[in-house]
Structure 1
């Protein structure tokens, strides 16, 4: 079943202060025109904002629940909210799973209100359809503040309980990058009581919401517990779902990518110095990303040098050499 469709925001001058939020698999302007005819209101509905999503049903629920939490719903089981338009638009922009404008036309059809005489050249104009759309998400400032409290950056004191509270709030607003923090902090008892099962549940929740990085966190957790079967399953799911197209700061952050390479370097380090086999699903991934994994290993070696830890630097230099070797002969990595 194709779940792709628009989540739209409609307004009507005859309904001052009210905004309608809904979903449709058709063109929103067509739906607005039909609605205007059927309601008998003296003025027409206008489409204030529209966005195409992979799952418009799930997104509509997300947006409505978010607006409810902010106290904007006027009555249960209705699509109208007594809210400033910019707040409603921001709520839609916060929702995960949006389909970029440049690819939206691939799932639309001429029967949905498009001009059948229009071709792709007509879409080449000086008007950027993305201009005027909010460029930030409701959770961005909250997530940044959470990071500042977690690391003790800027004017913020290191405060793990406050960081946990803020990461939890950011996650509730759709921030995928908050889930790995919540899982790790829960696992290690940072700002909250340590609970490995709850940590696993948080990683699962993040993965279900769309965080591919959470699959790697689950793999690491199972690996630490020597639950090899589950670890391999999670590594496989991570590799299957990982794509550089996801690295957009929302679905996956650059910090998470660097952590991925760092973990790969740890797996290679463990293979070289402890003779512990690299999980099969990760072998090809490491080979494909050998240059980045090497850079991560070299960063560890440089850190050891900077800190005056000769033995630490030495073992990581050997790991770098091992990476250079298996780049030439992949059998060294898999044996």
Structure 2
């Protein structure tokens, strides 16, 4: 395979929007990365080109059988104009784990990281330099073969697009209200819950719509077998501080292994804060609240980084957490992660990757 990345720069650069009025995922940079796959040639023809539409046959398998995976990460610009990525190697590794589950050929990690860095470097002037803003990066793979037979595609496209973004939630770091979902499920063990694939998100949209209509920002998912154990909050991993210990649901096969989740756990361990990955039921959480031991709760993910939870609604019962205020540990975690990401804080873990 030719590993040289061809670069075609845009002759017509877009007018950049006011960064202060950005909406999440609505604006895109000048360039994108594309690489093709075929059974005969493997992954080939890596290139950076002007951002543009792509053309697919109506029978392309992505439209019919949903063979796709994606990732999400961010680029940050520091006060002295240095550009950083946060643990991008972990995103590429997870992309490949998701690909294995969805019967998609894995990409070469070194090449994917090189392409990602080059693309960010070319469009670095799209990175907002305002507090809380960043450049969101979306690598993804889609199946492209025109074939209505239910078999894995023989051709694919790996692409990376980028979008300058502000806060994911309009509430910012203000605590959000969450509804516990007891009817629908997000995923089950043995399914695709631990892969980052489109169908997981499509199936969750109806529940999100219902929750929003009832005044909630997101839903708390329970397991698909017993409808009892906590799994994720919206599309984020979730943490609870109970009687001094931080608890997050263990990876059961239906929970996505978040890079931010992993970072939070490692950060808490570094601080000497008790943290455990285990099963935790909604009943246990309710009892902890009733006993005054549910001290803090927050979601973690690339888009929002950390999202404090101020209230949970379950079976017409409202669990107000920390008087509906952002907890001290929650804020400490948020400041530490964003400080490392933006270069404001020391990085003792080697998570921050500089882009030349």
How high is the TM-score relative to the length of structure 2?
A: 0.25
Q: In proportion to residue count, which structure has more helix? A: 1
Q: In proportion to residue count, which structure has more strand? A: 2
Structure ranking higher on relative contact order (CA contacts 8 Å, 6+ apart): 2
Q: Between Structure 1 and Structure 2, whose CA radius of gyration is higher?
A: 1
